[in-house]
Amino acid sequence: MDIVQRFLNYTKINTTTNRANGAAGIMPSNPTELELAKLIKSELEALGIKDISLDERAILIAKIPANHDKISPKIAFFAHLDTSAEQTADTKAKIVKYEGGDICLNDELGIFLKFSDNPELENYVGDDIVVTDGTSLLGADDKAAIASIVNALEYFVKNPDVKHGEVIACFVPDEEQGLRGAKALDASKLGADFGYCLDCCEIGEFIYENWNAGDCVLTFKGVSAHPMNAKGKLVNSLLMAHKFISLLPGGEAPEYTEGKEGYFWVKELSGNSAKTILKLDIREFDEQKYKERMQFLQNLADGLNVVWDGRIEITLNDRYKNVYSFLKDESAPAIVLAKQAFKNLDIVPKIKPMRGGYDGAVISSKGVPTPNIFTGGHNFHSIYEYLPVRSLRAASEVIKEIVKLAAKG
């Protein structure tokens, strides 16, 4: 099957992550994720792949054994089954030949993918581009990855003369709500030396640095009183929380930072004068600076507790680590092979730190160092999401080239 048709078929299954079900511990959060996993499994079985496992949580693992005697690394490729909850409508994907200017997504509703907002479209003049009708996500995040991986597996099955080591494909649910599928994955079942997620954007993107991420929950315990006789009695927990926020470093928030600049993100504030809960996210690329940020919050709470008679409860949690801490340095095989594959395919690498997290951050902590390779898509989580066909094909070619290079040693 052609990779484009494969991708279009996947987009027809609406796998919007369900946050309510996820919060209730249900996996997959949307039963259609399991439906998609079953479709992928049937396609792999049709190719003749024997070593396939699929559990009720929609975690799918398939393996192609090595076809030569030379010792070469076992490499895993990962994608997630769900799409983001920003839009829930069914995807109506279509292919347009891009000739420049704006792309009309929906004439009736007057929805356009505007060149003025997406100047990178200039790179795709003359190319086929997959878009939606402007009422949904496209789902290239991450169905382009699924199509690329399955297409690469098909290539190796149908070309047994091409030497390769063991190739592992893994598809997980609910990445879009806290990397839940990756956290549930038993990485020991992979048997991989290292891996690659396909979960970043335009052609050439290669990510092997991401946040060290944590969260902080603070509970401020006040004392309620009727305002008519509140003097000397009322302790307003809302004002305590606001005071805490005011003591955070100025300018160290998402809206003021870029590149590798870390931050505190005041994410949620709820309550009343008697009790208020404040939730913060902590992000930092450097591990030591991350620890210092977490300690800063602990120290601030401890100091204010002296003043406020212990009226603050604080909980600090680590969420995921920077993948680079598992890769160790630039000589890591996963980095070297990917860069060489890009070079061999004349793809200019766009190496940058990821101001976010992805499944690979969790998988790396389970013993399988996993950087992130492009899917080719643009405008993830938006009705303006689009996927140049040339980029989709390139993502699959990178997978093939990495596997072939690894077999050569």
Known binding positions for Zn(2+): 80, 141, 176, 199, 381
CB neighbourhood size of 217 (10 A): 14
The H or E element spanning position 319 is strand 312-320
DSSP 119-151: GGGGGGTTSEEEE--SSS---HHHHHHHHHHHH
Q: How far is CA 385 from CA 23, 127, 135, 355, in A?
A: 27, 16, 11, 19
Residue 68 buriedness (CB in 10 A; 0-12 / 13-18 / 19+)? exposed
**From edge to edge, which strands make up the β-sheet containing 94-97?**
94-97, 128-131, 387-388
How far apart are alpha carbons 44 and 25 in whole angstroms? 29
| Binding-site residue set | 80, 141, 176, 199, 381
Residue 239: closest CA among 215, 264, 269: 269
Angle subtended at Cα 85 by Cα 360 and Cα 114, rounded to the nearest 5 degrees: 95
Q: Could you give the residue numbers annotated as active site? A: 82, 175
CB 322 within 8 A of CB 251: no
Residue 76: closest CA among 57, 110, 51, 108: 51
Angle between helices 3-11 and 140-158 (to 10 degrees): 140
Residue 189: closest CA among 59, 345, 98: 59
Cis peptide before 28 (omega within 30 of 0): yes
Cis peptide before 161 (omega within 30 of 0): no
Residue 153: closest CA among 144, 142, 164: 164
